[in-house]
Structure 1
Amino acid sequence: MTVYAQELKAIAQSMVTRGKGLLAIDESNGTCNNRFEKLGIPTTEENRRAYRELLLTTPNLANYISGLILFDETIRQTTKEGKPFAQVIANLGMIPGIKVDTGAKDLAGHQGEKVTEGLDNLRDRIAEYYKMGARFAKWRAVITIGNKIPSDACMLANAHALARYAVLCQEGGLVPIVEPEVLIDGEHTLEQSFEVTDQTLHSVFNQLHTQGIEYDQMVLKPSMVIAGQESSHQSSIDAVAEATVKCLLKNVPATVTGIAFLSGGQSNEQASAHLNLMNERFYDQCPWPITFSYGRAIQQPALDYWQGDSNRVAEAQKRLLHRAKCNSLASLGKYNPDVERELGYG
């Protein structure tokens, strides 16, 4: 137990408040710039700042969003009036969070596999982010399904890094989001996805236990069990919901504070529909709340409409709020396709 134990428990519980989820706006500058380029938006720091301000100042966002995950550049930025983003988020009734890994790099000796880096100086960076107002953190590991991969070496390297990161966060006052993402890329079947997700979660929780994590002071951000995007056998919504919950119940300790799924390349509607069915059918069977921690699956309609035009901010914010509401309803098992047409563009 750390000196932050009670604070961490309370924050973790707030992050997965019933009917709310997390909004990930933690894309690296490179990723953000790529999305801007596709829409013809100039890739400047000011445009990135303006876009992030649009997102986090959306009116009534706190009705559906408990916290926002920021990138290093973003947590250091301010609104046009000069107010630090982390302070603005807290004042609006949401929790500021921070991505602390430095990206997935090639795993030496294992072609086609990645290991996430960022443990160097992490204790000091956590202390700095805490002073800046962050109260939770995120670290993403990437697992690829392919020919004879993932290897045991890849599983272990990523699980070990996730566990060391998580314990450092709890020591420094940040709730760790533990994100082992099994990529949706590829031709794998639902059954293969289940097998690899099962192995991944087993390895991650084994390492978390070994490193001494407090489960009631963390949030798990897993991928859903789903067939690869190039698979000839695409999964039904029912199959994804059932397989995902089965895999979680098999591997995730009941004392973990909550589950907040990544969308992982699913369409906006798919991500909402899968989350909805899990809550509609399996809520009573799950010892932890199941909600969302989505990036593109909430942001994209707003970005598509905004396109760097300051005159379009208010309407873009309506699109963001709409997607946040859709996923809030999904986290309650109350989402349906009719909600998509609420604003007249779904």
Structure 2
Amino acid sequence: MSIEQLAETAQAMVARGKGIIAIDESTSTIKKRFDSVGIENIEENRRAYREMLLTTPKLGDHVSGAILFDETLRQKTADGTPFVEVMKKAGVIPGIKVDKSTHPLAGCPGEVITEGLDGLRDRLKEYYRLGARFAKWRAVINIGDDIPSGTCIEANSHALARYAALCQEQGLVPMVEPEVIMDGSHDIQTCYEVTEAVLRSLFGALYEQNVMLEGTILKASMVVSGKDCPEQADVEEVAEATLMCLKSTVPAILPGIVFLSGGQSDEKATAHLDAMNRIGNLPWPLSFSYGRAMQSAALRIWAQDMKANVARAQETVYARARDNGLAALGQWPGADAA
């Protein structure tokens, strides 16, 4: 695939008023979500749940793409239609999570490295053949006493860059996700400094690996106070700090930035995105790539009756997509109440 085609896909992923729904939970992660609402974690229930999400009427009005798990990319609806075909018909671009999760980083207590580069080229070839047109790799950066270390930041940046280069080689737009974790008692200034260091390292590594930024999407965490910090930054502080950090680190040629919710409440994730877009004057579109913040309310409804409540759950999915789509335009009507 040419860089023009990669750039076209990347631009479609951040189309005006649209964002990404992340439904790429691993089997163990979806088990935690299912356990919380009393659903058995079996393949058929996972398939039925993802079908409910992906067949939401008018989903493509506010959702440009969906990140899938390996199992989900291969699944079909109850009537035998491949999920990929359902998505294409709705105007939703199929994406795929390709990392193999985090593992302890040797020599760096309390820090982790994301693995999965071995065999990635062949997996990407298969994913492209199955219909995926973008991929995602998540790195995890913890904040704590004397961490993150430069070693951790550089190791994860290098892995993200190698993954991104392999994606583009195989015709997939890489979504690079260096998540700075909210857990901890650190203040917003500490989060800013860590996020800035991580993004500077990331874009340096992407440059060194000859990754074409015009065919790349950044999935970023917002600059927020740690969950246990006694002084929580308000919506405007988060919006201003996040934008300042991004403007100082992210090249303008990037097609767009999507945010992870990272454990924020549904409403806070939407309010922060809306506030950033209200400030405006940005070199790139800012949108969403939310998982829990798009799904949690719908999952609770669906779990009450997995057959009778499909339509009600889908109404909630659409409402969350619509709210976040409006926030991507700086037009979320709930801003005054947030």
Q: Shorter-chain-normalised TM-score: which range?
A: over 0.9
Supply the distance in 2 between the matched residues of 1:147 and 1:318 (Cα, whole angstroms).
44
Give the alignment partner of residue 331 of structure 2, picking from 330, 334, 341: 334
**AA at the equivalent of 2:292:** R
User: How much has 1:339 moved relative to structure 2?
Assistant: 9.8
Q: Within 5 A, what are the aligned runs for 1:127-166?
A: 127-166=125-164
Superposed CA offset, 1:106-139 (max 9, x none): 1111111110001011000000000000000000
Supply the distance in 2 between the matched residues of 1:325 and 1:92 (Cα, whole angstroms).
15
Q: Within 5 A, what are the aligned runs for 1:1-346?
A: 3-281=1-279, 283-284=280-281, 286-307=282-303, 309-337=306-334
User: Which residue of the partner structure matches residue 343 of structure 1?
Assistant: none
Supply the distance in 2 between the matched residues of 1:211 and 1:329 (Cα, whole angstroms).
36
SS at match of 2:220: coil
Instruction: State how many pairs are aligned.
Output: 337
Unmatched 5+ stretches in structure 2 = none
Contact 1:162 1:178 in 2 (8 A): yes
Contact 1:273 1:336 in 2 (8 A): no
Supply the distance in 1 between the matched residues of 2:257 and 2:3 (Cα, whole angstroms).
19
User: How much has 1:337 moved relative to structure 2?
Assistant: 2.0
Superposed CA offset, 1:130-184 (max 9, x none): 0000000000000000000001110011000000000100010000001000001
Root mean square deviation, CA, Å: 1.2
SS at match of 1:33: helix
**AA at the equivalent of 2:92:** M
4+ residue segments displaced more than 4 Å: none
SS at match of 2:331: coil
Superposed CA offset, 1:295-330 (max 9, x none): 000111100110052110000000111011110010
User: How much has 1:5 moved relative to structure 2?
Assistant: 1.4
Supply the distance in 2 between the matched residues of 1:275 and 1:177 (Cα, whole angstroms).
19
Contact 1:4 1:171 in 2 (8 A): no
Superposed CA offset, 1:63-95 (max 9, x none): 000000000010011101111111211111110
Q: Closer, same or farther in 2 for the Cα pair 1:287/1:218, shift >3 Å?
A: same
Contact 1:326 1:339 in 2 (8 A): no
**AA at the equivalent of 2:261:** S
Supply the distance in 2 between the matched residues of 1:338 and 1:287 (Cα, whole angstroms).
23
Contact 1:194 1:243 in 2 (8 A): yes
Contact 1:194 1:244 in 2 (8 A): yes
Superposed CA offset, 1:228-275 (max 9, x none): 010001011010000000000000001011000001000000000000
Supply the distance in 1 between the matched residues of 2:258 and 2:218 (Cα, whole angstroms).
6
Q: Closer, same or farther in 2 for the Cα pair 1:276/1:70, shift >3 Å?
A: same
SS at match of 1:251: coil
Supply the distance in 1 between the matched residues of 2:132 and 2:336 (Cα, whole angstroms).
33
Supply the distance in 1 between the matched residues of 2:248 and 2:336 (Cα, whole angstroms).
33
SS at match of 2:300: helix
Supply the distance in 1 between the matched residues of 2:244 and 2:39 (Cα, whole angstroms).
43
Supply the distance in 1 between the matched residues of 2:198 and 2:178 (Cα, whole angstroms).
7
Supply the distance in 2 between the matched residues of 1:117 and 1:10 (Cα, whole angstroms).
29
**AA at the equivalent of 2:120:** L
Contact 1:107 1:114 in 2 (8 A): yes
TM-score by length of 2: 0.98
Supply the distance in 1 between the matched residues of 2:336 and 2:326 (Cα, whole angstroms).
9
Supply the distance in 1 between the matched residues of 2:306 and 2:252 (Cα, whole angstroms).
46
SS at match of 1:310: coil
User: How much has 1:4 moved relative to structure 2?
Assistant: 2.5
Contact 2:196 2:249 in 1 (8 A): yes
User: How much has 1:338 moved relative to structure 2?
Assistant: 7.5
Supply the distance in 2 between the matched residues of 1:187 and 1:21 (Cα, whole angstroms).
30
User: How much has 1:25 moved relative to structure 2?
Assistant: 0.3
Unmatched 5+ stretches in structure 1 = 341-345
